[in-house]
Amino acid sequence: MDQIKIGKFISSCRKEQGMTQAILAEKIGVSDRAVSKWETGKSMPDTGIMLELCQLLHINVNELLSGEKIMTESYDKKAEENLLAMRKEIEEKNKQLLNTEIFIGVPATLAGIGMCFIASFLEMPVYLRVCLIVFGLLIILTFAFIAVGIEQKAGYYECQKCFDRHVPGYWQANLAPHAGRSRYMKCPKCGKWSMQKKVLTKEAD
């Protein structure tokens, strides 16, 4: 999606409705800085407020995502293009989240293991040895919980029985036996257990 084009379109529609950035921001419940960022193409409106924004600007979501008014004959084509663009954007954000999990989890795990290794093989007072081991284990456990939370929110898990894609609860994901990013869980739709694979989008490829 062309954020610059969308931003200019939002600005144009806002002016057509005789609203300042501050008035539009107040009606939606955001800051005028947020509206300014939309109109300069630095960010996009959150999906949760898109419908309200479109109502205020007298446009539809398809036109908002296209950055232009759409003629009836080309509406379906534009809708499909926008859905594909949004899917790609969501997939990219989920990839970034999963990369963040690696960047956080791997160094933290290595640091924790390093502390336990030092405490086990170097000469030092007993209290210091215990403190290092406990601190190392706490680092590993803390960042393991954080990493699972990131993985749980990034994308979906796909049931291998009915192929439903869903987001499990945090503790369900945390406590599930796993291999890599696949977790053995019960599907909320069919109720069967399977090694559910991590996928990045709600729709099947």
Indicate whether 65 and 95 sit together in one domain: no
pLDDT for position 147: 84
Q: Which residues 6+ apart lie within 8 Å of 112 measured at CB?
A: 136, 137, 138, 139, 140, 143
Q: Which residues 6+ apart lie within 8 Å of 11 measured at CB?
A: 39
Name the burial class of residue 78, with classes exposed (0-12), middle (13-18) and buried (19+) by CB atoms within 10 angstroms of its CB: middle
Indicate whether 57 and 123 sit together in one domain: no
Q: Which residues 6+ apart lie within 8 Å of 84 measured at CB?
A: none
User: How high is the mean pLDDT of the chain?
Assistant: 87
- Residue keyed to tokens 């192929």: 163
Indicate whether 116 and 171 sit together in one domain: yes
Structure tokens at 51: 């419908």
**Domain range for residue 139?**
91-199
Provide the CB-side half-sphere exposure for 55 (13 A, CA): 6
pLDDT for position 104: 82
CA distance 56 to 27: 8
Indicate whether 115 and 58 sit together in one domain: no
Q: Residue 204: inside a domain, yes or no?
A: no
Indicate whether 119 and 43 sit together in one domain: no
DSSP string, 16-30: HTT--HHHHHHHHTS
CA distance 125 to 113: 19
Which tens digits make up the pLDDT trace of 12-64?
Answer: 999 999 999 999 999 999 999 999 999 999 988 887 888 899 999 999 888 89
CA distance 65 to 194: 38
Structure tokens at 55: 């109502």
Indicate whether 194 and 124 sit together in one domain: yes
CA distance 132 to 197: 36
| CA torsion, ordered 64, 1, 46, 17, to nearest 10 deg | -30
Residue 84's pLDDT band, with cuts at 50, 70 and 90, is low
Domain count, the chain: 2
Residue 192's pLDDT band, with cuts at 50, 70 and 90, is very high
Indicate whether 20 and 117 sit together in one domain: no
Q: Residue 64: inside a domain, yes or no?
A: yes
Indicate whether 20 and 65 sit together in one domain: yes
Q: Residue 78: inside a domain, yes or no?
A: no
Q: Residue 24: inside a domain, yes or no?
A: yes
Indicate whether 142 and 51 sit together in one domain: no
Indicate whether 127 and 174 sit together in one domain: yes
Indicate whether 104 and 63 sit together in one domain: no
- Residue 56 belongs to domain with CATH number: 1.10.260.40
User: Do the bridges between strand 165-166 and strand 182-186 make them parallel or antiparallel, or are there none, so unpaired?
Assistant: unpaired
More confident residue, 148 or 20: 20
